């Protein structure tokens, strides 16, 4: 499975790999000792509450996950009592709303610890064709989609699979698509996001409809010209291979047709409501290696929450890219987290928070290009480099695209928090958090871009070499920032654990002052060496995995990974040794986000061959990975992840007993989802 990555980021990484003498030289500008450590204790204190307060909401006849029968009282957004009917009746008032669980399971709300809200929003209103297998079906579905979206200025299609007889022939790509849509740009993406197909209008509006050469800047110098398919006259046919190449197509079109802030807010609300329908009360949004996008998204979250339109909690993250601006990315993210903390404490207003985040957003969108310009200036270390002028052109183009996609829409609006209808401050227990730095170490097994110990890595893998990884881990850890690293292969997992181990030693005195160690995360862990499995518990590292990524033999994955390594693949059970914390997520919208399916698969998984070790987990362990484990990951173990007095009221009422998920087939529906004390989803009768 593959975490999506923005095409402009893929291009930036290709440039960094190709010209390290230009784009890698400033990684060491910031020294650890130049940065004051953040020694603040990050774990949230227990909630203050009045157990005698009249309840706003009561759940009767609940069966808790441990089998206890209970009734639950909620006042405001906090669980105030869990006990017998008599105990709860004492706090029922004339306005108390009562829900009857009818003896069914009531669980802490599920948290998806790894998904991509941005991608889910982007795919609203688009066409997904994962199941299309014939050209006739493709054309039929696309015509219907185009007719239903006749007012849209641009059309996007996702999920097309490759076939021996291609549905979109490379030689006649534009003509094939023009027969269906010719009055507006149309972009079709492969299921693995490694190929994009475009109609004539799209190629023309991206200013690529001309004889090549000349190619877009640096395409030939980077050896990528063969990935733009051209006809006998040198004109692009409309097929562009790999994200770093189709960024020259997709980027300009996204910049020309950006989604308005109002539309993005609406889309974000829609996808969060979809998640609430699965019993999800919180998510960990994983960044996609685009720092400006992360801050733009934080502004959306802030506005949606202040409008009381955010139905679930979102623990967001910010990106750092392995280039000349690596450590500055961390500082910008740290500044954003610091501002959010001050706003929760009412040291600044929501309007002030918005303005300061907007300034950080502008910095995140321009600081890379500013450094490139300094390199090119007289006296700069790149002034005499033969590729410097072309690099400046590409950098300027990328910066312009990022500005139009992520910055311009916010910058031209008035501060929405200055309206009288908006609260002056955000709540202390805001639904928004920003604690995590997200980085990519490698790619995927299926594309031979995972960093594995059993073979030589492909070009550019790992994305962070060990020295730079050690540095960014120690740097982030010093600032009290959790690092989450996309690590598919066992080489990436080992590198990440090694870097965390070094950071623990370097910052041990800081940890003593904090009173706790930062719970860094390793994401995916599809393969892991036997000797590294116990290190998760020993180093207090969170294993973040996705149950529905695992599938039994035989798939392409199994043909690429030796059978000798299968025993420690997707090793959910063995990562739990030494009291390690396991969290589960989905990678949605790439994979289903349904926690019931995830729990069921984690519990019922079978060994891959006779005599293989069983890596399935118990029902309690699987549920914990979606509840209490996720709470610990975001410093919230004192306030969420359990149903008991003093916890935030995040719960899900099921249609039966949660133990049904222990069977291979199950019928268990989500009846009601409660987040922050409010019903955010109720099944229609």
Is residue 36 in a domain?
no
Q: CB of 528 within 8 A of CB of 568?
A: yes
DSSP designation for 105: B
Q: Which two tokens stand for residue 566?
A: 């299968």
Contact 517, 526 (CB under 8 A): no
- CATH number where 149 lies: 3.10.310.70
Spatial separation of the C-alpha atoms in residues 453 and 489, rounded to whole Å: 8
Task: Identify the CA nearest to 609 among candidates 564, 674, 643, 669.
Answer: 564
Within 10 Å of residue 123's Cβ, how many Cβ atoms? Answer: 17
3-state class of 614 per DSSP?
coil
Cβ neighbours of 184 (radius 10 Å): 17
Q: How many CB atoms lie within 10 A of CB 151?
A: 5
Is 38 inside any structural domain?
no
Residue range(s) defining the domain that contains residue 53: 47-109+642-685
Let me know whether 375 and 450 are in one domain: no
Q: Kindly report the CATH number assigned to the domain that includes residue 597.
A: 3.20.20.140
Give yes or no: residues 126 and 237 share one domain.
yes
Single out the residue in 256, 286, 308 at which a domain terminates: 256
User: Within this chain, do residues 633 and 650 fall inside the same structural domain, yes or no?
Assistant: no
Task: Give dist(CA 110, CA 275) in Å, integer.
Answer: 10
187-224 b/e (C-beta count within 10 Å ≥ 16 → b)? bbbbbbbbbbbbbbbbbebbebbeebeebbbbbeebeb
- The number of distinct structural domains making up the chain is 4
**237 and 273 both lie in a single domain:** no
pLDDT along the chain (685 residues), means of 10: 77 88 63 87 97 98 97 98 97 98 98 97 95 97 97 96 95 98 97 94 98 94 94 97 95 95 98 98 95 97 98 97 90 97 98 98 93 89 91 93 95 97 97 97 91 89 93 96 98 98 97 97 98 98 98 91 96 95 96 97 97 97 98 98 98 98 96 98 92
Question: Which residue, 230, 256, 282, sits at the end of a domain?
Answer: 256
Same domain for 582 and 488, yes or no, is yes
Residues 325 and 368 in one domain: yes
Domain boundary among 238, 256, 274: 256
Residue 312 included in any domain: yes
Structure tokens at 181: 């849509």
Q: Are 187 and 154 in contact (CB under 8 A)?
A: yes
Q: Is residue 204 helix, strand or coil?
A: helix
Torsion of CA 490, 496, 500, 501, to 10 degrees: 40
* Tally of CB atoms within 10 A around 145: 21
* Rg, the chain, Cα only: 25
Q: Are residues 279 and 392 in the same domain?
A: yes
Tokens of 80: 């105030």
Domain presence at residue 103: yes
Residues 636 and 646 placed together within one structural domain of the fold? no
What DSSP element (H or E) covers 14? helix 7-18
Q: What is 391-452 written as a DSSP string?
A: HHHHHHHHHHHHIIIIIHHHHTS--GGGSTTS-SS--TT-SEEEEEEEEE----TTTT-S--
**676, 540: one domain:** no
Is residue 429 included in any domain, yes or no? no
Phi, psi (degrees; rounded to nearest 5) at 11: -65, -45
Determine the pLDDT at residue 2. Answer: 61
Looking at the domain assignment, is residue 431 inside a domain?
Answer: no
215 with 331, same domain?
no
Please give the distance of CA 300 from its chain centroid, rounded to a whole number: 15
Q: Which helix (H) or strand (E) holds 239?
A: strand 236-241
Is the residue at 197 inside a domain? Answer: yes
- Structure tokens given for 200: 């004539």
Does residue 565 fall inside a structural domain?
yes
* Helix, strand, coil content of the chain in percent (nearest 5): 40, 20, 40
E strand or H helix at 311: none
pTM of the model: 0.95
* Whether residue 609 sits in one domain with residue 541: yes
pLDDT on residue 1: 55
Same domain flag for 500 and 582: yes
> 212 with 146: CB under 8 angstroms?
no
Cβ neighbours of residue 302 under 8 Å, at least 6 residues apart? Answer: 350, 353, 354, 357, 417, 426, 432
For tokens 């506005």, what's the residue? 303
């Amino acid at each position: 499975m593959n975490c999506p990555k923005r095409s402009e980021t893929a291009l930036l990484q290709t440039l960094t790999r190709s010209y390290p003498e230009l784009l890698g030289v400033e990684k060491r500008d910031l020294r650890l000792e130049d940065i004051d450590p953040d020694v603040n204790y990050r774990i949230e204190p227990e909630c203050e509450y009045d157990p005698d307060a009249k309840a706003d909401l009561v759940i009767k006849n609940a069966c808790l996950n441990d089998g206890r029968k209970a009734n639950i009282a909620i006042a405001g957004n906090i669980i105030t009592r869990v006990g017998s009917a008599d105990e709860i009746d004492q706090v029922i008032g004339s306005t108390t709303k009562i829900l009857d669980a009818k003896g069914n399971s009531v669980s802490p709300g599920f948290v998806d610890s790894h998904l991509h809200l941005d991608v889910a929003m982007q795919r609203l209103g688009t066409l997904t064709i994962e199941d299309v297998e014939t050209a006739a079906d493709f054309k039929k579905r696309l015509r219907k989609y185009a007719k239903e979206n006749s007012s849209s200025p641009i059309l996007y299609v996702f999920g097309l699979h490759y076939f021996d007889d291609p549905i979109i022939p490379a030689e006649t790509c534009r003509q094939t698509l023009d027969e269906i849509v010719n009055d507006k740009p149309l972009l079709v993406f492969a299921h693995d996001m490694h190929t994009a197909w475009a109609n004539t209008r799209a190629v023309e509006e991206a200013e690529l409809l001309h004889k090549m050469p000349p190619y877009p800047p640096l395409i030939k110098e980077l050896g990528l010209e063969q990935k733009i398919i051209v006809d006998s006259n040198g004109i692009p046919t409309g097929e562009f291979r790999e994200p770093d190449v189709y960024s020259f197509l997709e980027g300009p079109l996204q910049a020309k047709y950006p989604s308005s802030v109002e539309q993005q807010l609406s889309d974000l609300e829609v996808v969060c409501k979809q998640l609430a329908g699965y019993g999800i009360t919180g998510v960990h949004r994983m960044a996609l290696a685009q720092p400006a996008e992360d801050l733009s998204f934080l502004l959306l979250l802030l506005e949606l929450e202040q409008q009381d339109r955010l139905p679930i909690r979102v623990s967001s993250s910010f990106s750092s890219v392995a280039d000349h601006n690596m450590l500055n990315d961390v500082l910008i993210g740290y500044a954003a987290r610091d501002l959010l903390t001050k706003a929760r404490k009412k040291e600044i207003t929501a309007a002030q928070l918005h303005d300061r985040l907007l300034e950080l957003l502008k910095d995140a969108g321009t600081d890379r290009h500013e450094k490139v310009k300094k390199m090119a200036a007289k006296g700069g270390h790149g002034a005499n480099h033969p590729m410097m002028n072309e690099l400046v052109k590409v950098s300027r183009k990328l910066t312009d695209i990022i500005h139009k996609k992520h910055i311009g829409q916010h910058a031209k609006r008035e501060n929405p928090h200055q309206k009288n209808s908006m609260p002056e401050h955000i709540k202390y227990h805001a639904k928004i958090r920003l604690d995590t730095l997200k980085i990519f170490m490698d790619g995927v097994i299926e594309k031979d871009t995972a960093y594995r110990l059993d073979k030589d890595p492909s070009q550019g893998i790992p994305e962070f070499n060990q020295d730079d990884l050690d540095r960014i881990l120690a740097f982030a850890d010093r600032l009290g920032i959790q690092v989450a690293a996309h690590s598919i292969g066992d080489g990436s997992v080992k590198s990440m654990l090694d870097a965390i181990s070094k950071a623990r030693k370097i910052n041990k005195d800081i940890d003593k002052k904090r009173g706790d160690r930062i719970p860094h995360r390793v994401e995916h862990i599809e393969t892991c060496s036997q000797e590294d499995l116990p290190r998760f518990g020993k180093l207090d590292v969170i294993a973040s995995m996705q149950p529905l990524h695992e599938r039994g033999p035989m798939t392409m994955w199994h043909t690429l990974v030796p059978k000798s390594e299968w025993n420690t693949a997707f090793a959910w059970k063995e990562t739990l040794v030494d009291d390690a914390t396991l969290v589960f997520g989905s990678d949605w919208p790439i994979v289903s986000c349904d926690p019931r399916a995830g729990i069921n698969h984690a519990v019922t998984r079978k060994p891959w061959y006779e005599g293989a070790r069983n890596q399935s987990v118990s029902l309690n362990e699987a549920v914990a990975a979606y509840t209490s484990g996720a709470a610990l990951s975001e410093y919230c173990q004192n306030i969420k992840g359990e149903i008991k007095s003093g916890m935030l009221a995040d719960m899900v009422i099921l249609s039966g007993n949660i133990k049904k998920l222990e069977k291979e087939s199950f019928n268990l529906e989500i009846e009601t989802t409660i987040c922050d004390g409010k019903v955010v989803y109720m099944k229609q009768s």
